C-alpha cells in the first residue's frame, strides 16, 4: 500500500491538466467522436483509400511525429515526483525562501540518467549518473543539475563537445553503445591529465550503482549563496541517500544488462509504488567568500572536491520521492533542466565549465523540444503564474490578454512591472571583475593528480581491486598500444602500484610521462611540459569510500525465495513476514510460474521461474525449507538452474540462507569449505538464525572475501 503523498501544489497543477481515457469515447484531437477506428475511408470495400479521410491523416501524422530528438547526453533517464523538506534554516547564508523556513515543503521532480548511452541503452552501463532536481518554489523554478560524482572530466566547457564525441560510439561504425571501453575515449583521456581525478571515480564502483536510490548526488560546481545583507558564501551541494551508497560487481552489472536492462528504472518505480519512498539528506559545504583562496586547490575548478574532513557537510533538509509519473513521455522525457534556473539567494561562481553550461542548456532545449515555449509544458511550468512580454512562438499555450507586449508602457499601466529587491526581485551578486581578455587557464587549475591520489588512497582494498580491474577491462578494449601506454603513464602519477598492476595485464611498460601543464600553447605536445603538484590538506577521506556507508537496513532490498512443491509453508511464511516487516521485498522463484504447493497444501504463486530471472536481480537468496522441496529442486530438470543461482550469488558476495532440510543443496553447490568464516552464508541446520541473515543483507556484500570466494 502506498503511503500518503501529502499536499503537493505541483501535482495538483499537473492533475488539473491530466486526463484519463477510462469510460470515455474515442475522439479526434479536435474532440470529434470517432465511429470507426478499424477501417480507413475507401472508394468501395476493395478500392483506394481516400485523401479526405481526415481521421486517418490526423492519426498517422501524429504517429509520424510522436518522437522528439533524444538528449545528446543523459538520454536514458528515469524520473519521479517528490517533496523537499527543510529541517534547518539556511537564512544565515541565503535569502532563497525555500531554504529559510524550517518545515517548509517544496514540490520537486527528479530525473536520474546515464550520460553516454542512447534512450534504449542499458541501465547498468559503467557511467556517470545524472541527478537533476527541479524545485517548484514560490519564487520560481530552481534547477539543480547534479551528478552522482562530485567532479567532472574537464575544466572548461569548450572541451565538452570533444569529451562527448570521444565517449560516444565511434563515428565510422557507431560502436560501442553506452560504453567508454574503446579507442576514442581513452585516446582523449590519455591526453587530458585534468580528467584523471574523474577517471578514478568512473572506474570505481560508484559508476555501477545497485540502485538509483543508493547514489549520492553532488552539485559538482561551486555555486554561491547570497543572504539578505548581500554577503556571499561559496556552496557545494550534497544529497546523501538514507539507504547508503552501494554498488554491484562489474560481472553482475554485465549480466543484469542482459537479464533486465531496465533494472534501475524498474527498481525506482517499484520502490515508490510499494511505499518504500527513496530519501536523501540534503547538505551543503559552505566557504565564506573571503576564504576562497585558503585551499590547496581552486574552488572554481570542477575537477576538484572540498574534502569533508576540511569542510564538513552540514545537513539541512530531506528529499523524498513519493510519486511515479503518470506519463513517461509527458513528464520524464519532456522535463527540461537548466543550471541557469535560479531563485534569489543562489547565484553562479566563475567556474568555466558552469559558465558554458548556462548557454548550452537553453540551446539544447530549443533543439530538442522545438520551441522557446518549452517552459509551458506542464512538467516545466512554475507553480507561479508567468507574467512577461515574451510573445508567440511555436506551440504557444499561454493566452495573454491586453494590448501591450512591451515595457515601459502606459497603455497597460506599466504592467507587468519590475519587482524591487524587497519584493523578491532577482539581482545578481555584485562582484568586482577586472582582467585582460585572454584564452588561458589559471595556474591554480594545473594540479591534476593530488585529488586523484586522494580518492585512490581512500578506497578500501576491495574497492581498489575493483578499480584496477575496471581499468584493465576498459583498456583491454583499446586496440592502439600507444594509447594504453600513455594512459598507464598518467596512472603512474596517481599510484605506482596501480600503474604497475594495470600495465602488467595490458602488456605495456610503465613509462612515467612528464606532467602536462594545461595552460599550454595550442601547438605544444601535452606530454612534454611540466606542471606543479601541491601538498594536499588531507591524504585520506573516509567519505570517499563506500566501505563507510550506511549498512544497517534491509529496507527495499529484494530477497529471492527459491522453492518447489513440498516447501515448509509455516517456516517460509514466518521469515517472509519478518523480512517484509523490516522493509524488504520478497519475490518467490519457482521451477515455473505455476503455483507451488506446500507440504500442508498452501499455495505460493511465484513471480519468477528459474529460467525467467537470474540471481543478479536479487540482493540475497533463501533456499526455502522443506525436504520435498529440496528434492524437487535437485531433480535433473532443475538442479543446474538452482545451483547456478546459488553459485552466482555466492560469487557476487551476497547473503544466502539455507533453510532447514536444504543441506544437499549446500553440499552440491560451490558454497563453503573456505578458510575463513563467511558471515553471509547462513545455515539453519547449524543453528544460525534469521537475524544473522537480516544482518548479512544489511551489510550489502562481503567484498573482503571476494577473492577467496572466487578462488
Q: What would the mean pLDDT of 443-466 be, rounded to a whole number?
A: 96
558-562 and 620-623 strand pairing: parallel
pLDDT at 297 over 90: yes
Q: Over the range 170-208, which residues count as b (16 or more CB within 10 Å of their CB) and which as e?
A: eeeeeebebbbebebbbbbbbbbbbbbbbbbbbbbbbbb
pLDDT over 90, % of the chain: 76
Considering the chain, what is the average pLDDT of its residues? 92
Do the beta carbons of residue 621 and residue 584 sit within 8 Å? no
Question: What is the spatial distance between Cα 227 and Cα 94, in angstroms, rounded to a whole number?
Answer: 4
627 falls within a domain? yes
Least reliable range by pLDDT among 70-79, 194-203, 495-504, 509-518: 509-518
The pLDDT confidence band at residue 636, using thresholds 50, 70 and 90, is very high
pLDDT over 70, % of the chain: 95
Give 463's contacts (C-beta < 8 A, 6+ positions apart). 204, 205, 545, 546, 547, 703
pLDDT at 524 over 50: no
Q: What is the pLDDT of residue 500?
A: 97
288 falls within a domain? yes
SS3 state at 339: coil
Q: Per-residue pLDDT tens for 637-686?
A: 999 999 999 999 999 999 999 999 999 999 999 997 656 789 999 999 88
133 falls within a domain? yes
Q: What angle do CA 295, 299, 302 make, to 5 degrees?
A: 130
Q: What is the pLDDT of residue 673?
A: 63
The pLDDT confidence band at residue 385, using thresholds 50, 70 and 90, is confident
- 20 versus 154: the higher-pLDDT residue is 154
Neighbours of 360 (CB within 10 A): 16
Q: What is the DSSP string of 518-543?
A: SS--TTS-TTS-----PPPS-S--GG
pLDDT at 19 over 60: yes
SS3 state at 684: helix
Q: Which of 342, 359, 380 is the last residue of a domain?
A: 380
Domain that residue 573 falls in: 551-709
Q: Over the range 476-499, which residues count as b (16 or more CB within 10 Å of their CB) and which as e?
A: eebeeeebbbbbbbbbbbbbeebb
Q: What is the pLDDT of residue 619?
A: 98
- 453 versus 13: the higher-pLDDT residue is 453
Cell of 437: 581578455
In the chain, the number of structural domains is 2
Q: Which of 380, 402, 432 is the last residue of a domain?
A: 380
Q: What would the mean pLDDT of 241-263 be, rounded to a whole number?
A: 97
Q: What is the pLDDT of residue 528?
A: 45
301 falls within a domain? yes
Q: What is the pLDDT of residue 527?
A: 43
- Positions annotated as catalytic residues are 74, 147
Q: Over the range 665-687, which residues count as b (16 or more CB within 10 Å of their CB) and which as e?
A: bbebbebeeeeeebebbbbbeee
pLDDT at 518 over 50: no
Q: What is the pLDDT of residue 151?
A: 98
pLDDT at 16 over 80: no
Q: Per-residue pLDDT tens for 546-602?
A: 999 999 999 999 999 999 999 999 999 999 999 999 999 999 999 999 999 999 999
Q: What is the pLDDT of residue 689?
A: 85
Q: What is the pLDDT of residue 6?
A: 57
* Lookup result for grid cell 528515469: 78
CATH of the domain at 657: 3.40.50.880
SS3 state at 405: coil
Q: What is the pLDDT of residue 520?
A: 37
Which of 57-71, 152-166, 427-441 has the largest mean confidence? 152-166
222 falls within a domain? yes
The pLDDT confidence band at residue 533, using thresholds 50, 70 and 90, is low
295 falls within a domain? yes
Q: Which of 380, 399, 415 is the last residue of a domain?
A: 380
CATH of the domain at 145: 2.40.180.10
Q: Per-residue pLDDT tens for 325-345?
A: 999 999 999 999 999 999 999
432 falls within a domain? no
Q: What is the pLDDT of residue 1?
A: 42
651 falls within a domain? yes
Beta bridge partners of 84: 106, 319
Amino acid at each position: 500500500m502506498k503511503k500518503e503523498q501529502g499536499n503537493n501544489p505541483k501535482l495538483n497543477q499537473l492533475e488539473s491538466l491530466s486526463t484519463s481515457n477510462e469510460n470515455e469515447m474515442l475522439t479526434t484531437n479536435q474532440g470529434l467522436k470517432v465511429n470507426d477506428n478499424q477501417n480507413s475511408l475507401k472508394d468501395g470495400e476493395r478500392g483506394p483509400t481516400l485523401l479526405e479521410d481526415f481521421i486517418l491523416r490526423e492519426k498517422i501524422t501524429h504517429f509520424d511525429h510522436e518522437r522528439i530528438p533524444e538528449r545528446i547526453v543523459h538520454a536514458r533517464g528515469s524520473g519521479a515526483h517528490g517533496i523537499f523538506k527543510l529541517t534547518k534554516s539556511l537564512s544565515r547564508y541565503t535569502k532563497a525562501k525555500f531554504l529559510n523556513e524550517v518545515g517548509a515543503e517544496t514540490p520537486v521532480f527528479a530525473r536520474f540518467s546515464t550520460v553516454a548511452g542512447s534512450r534504449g541503452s542499458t541501465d547498468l552501463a559503467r557511467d556517470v549518473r545524472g541527478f537533476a532536481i527541479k524545485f517548484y518554489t514560490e519564487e520560481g523554478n530552481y534547477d539543480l543539475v547534479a551528478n552522482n560524482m562530485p567532479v567532472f572530466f574537464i575544466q572548461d566547457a569548450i572541451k565538452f563537445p570533444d569529451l562527448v564525441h570521444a565517449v560516444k560510439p565511434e563515428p565510422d561504425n557507431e560502436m560501442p553503445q553506452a560504453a567508454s571501453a574503446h579507442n576514442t575515449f581513452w585516446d582523449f583521456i590519455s591526453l587530458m591529465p585534468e580528467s584523471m581525478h574523474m577517471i578514478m571515480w568512473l572506474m570505481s564502483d560508484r559508476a555501477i550503482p545497485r540502485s538509483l536510490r543508493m547514489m549520492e548526488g553532488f552539485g559538482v560546481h561551486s555555486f554561491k549563496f547570497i543572504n539578505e545583507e548581500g554577503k556571499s558564501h561559496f556552496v557545494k551541494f550534497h544529497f546523501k541517500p538514507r539507504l547508503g551508497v552501494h554498488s554491484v560487481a562489474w560481472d553482475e552489472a554485465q549480466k543484469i544488462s542482459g537479464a533486465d536492462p531496465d533494472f534501475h528504472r524498474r527498481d525506482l518505480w517499484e520502490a515508490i509504488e510499494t511505499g518504500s519512498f527513496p530519501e536523501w539528506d540534503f547538505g551543503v559545504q559552505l566557504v565564506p567568500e573571503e576564504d576562497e583562496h585558503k585551499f590547496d586547490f581552486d574552488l572554481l575548478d570542477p575537477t576538484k572536491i572540498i574534502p569533508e574532513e576540511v569542510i564538513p557537510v552540514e545537513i539541512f533538509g530531506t528529499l523524498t520521492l513519493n510519486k511515479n509519473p503518470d506519463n513517461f513521455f509527458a513528464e520524464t522525457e519532456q522535463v527540461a533542466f537548466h543550471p541557469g534556473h535560479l531563485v534569489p539567494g543562489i547565484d553562479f561562481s566563475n567556474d568555466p565549465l558552469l559558465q558554458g553550461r548556462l548557454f548550452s542548456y537553453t540551446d539544447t532545449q530549443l533543439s530538442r523540444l522545438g520551441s522557446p515555449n518549452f517552459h509551458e509544458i506542464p512538467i516545466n511550468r512554475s507553480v507561479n503564474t508567468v507574467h512577461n512580454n515574451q510573445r508567440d512562438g511555436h506551440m504557444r499555450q499561454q493566452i495573454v490578454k491586453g494590448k501591450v507586449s512591451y515595457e515601459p508602457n502606459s497603455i497597460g499601466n506599466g504592467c507587468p512591472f519590475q519587482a524591487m529587491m524587497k519584493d523578491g526581485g532577482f539581482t545578481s551578486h555584485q562582484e568586482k571583475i577586472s582582467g585582460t581578455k585572454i584564452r588561458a587557464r589559471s595556474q591554480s587549475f594545473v594540479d591534476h593528480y593530488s585529488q586523484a591520489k586522494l580518492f585512490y588512497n581512500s578506497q578500501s582494498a576491495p574497492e581498489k581491486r575493483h578499480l584496477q580491474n575496471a581499468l584493465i577491462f576498459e583498456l583491454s578494449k583499446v586496440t592502439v598500444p600507444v594509447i594504453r601506454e600513455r594512459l598507464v603513464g598518467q596512472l603512474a602519477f596517481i599510484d605506482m602500484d596501480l600503474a604497475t598492476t594495470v600495465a602488467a595485464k595490458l602488456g605495456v611498460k610503465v613509462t612515467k610521462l612528464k606532467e602536462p601543464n594545461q595552460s599550454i600553447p595550442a601547438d605544444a605536445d601535452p606530454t612534454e611540459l611540466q606542471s606543479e603538484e601541491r601538498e594536499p590538506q588531507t591524504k585520506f577521506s573516509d567519505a570517499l569510500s563506500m566501505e563507510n556507508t550506511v549498512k544497517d537496513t534491509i529496507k527495499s532490498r529484494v530477497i529471492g525465495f527459491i522453492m518447489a512443491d513440498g516447501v515448509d509453508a509455516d517456516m517460509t511464511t514466518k521469515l517472509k513476514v519478518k523480512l517484509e516487516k523490516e522493509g524488504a521485498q520478497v519475490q518467490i522463484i519457482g521451477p515455473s510460474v505455476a503455483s507451488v504447493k506446500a507440504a500442508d497444501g498452501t499455495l505460493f504463486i511465484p513471480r519468477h521461474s528459474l529460467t525467467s530471472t537470474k540471481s543478479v536481480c536479487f540482493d540475497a537468496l533463501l533456499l526455502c525449507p522443506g525436504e520435498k522441496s529440496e528434492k524437487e529442486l535437485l531433480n535433473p530438470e532443475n538442479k543446474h538452474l538452482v545451483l547456478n543461482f546459488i553459485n552466482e550469488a555466492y560469487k557476487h558476495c551476497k547473503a544466502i540462507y539455507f533453510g532447514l532440510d536444504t543441506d544437499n543443496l549446500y553440499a552440491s553447490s560451490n558454497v563453503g569449505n573456505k578458510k575463513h568464516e563467511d558471515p553471509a552464508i547462513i545455515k539453519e541446520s547449524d543453528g544460525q538464525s534469521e537475524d544473522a541473515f537480516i544482518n548479512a543483507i544489511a551489510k550489502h556484500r562481503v567484498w573482503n572475501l571476494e577473492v577467496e570466494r572466487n578462488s
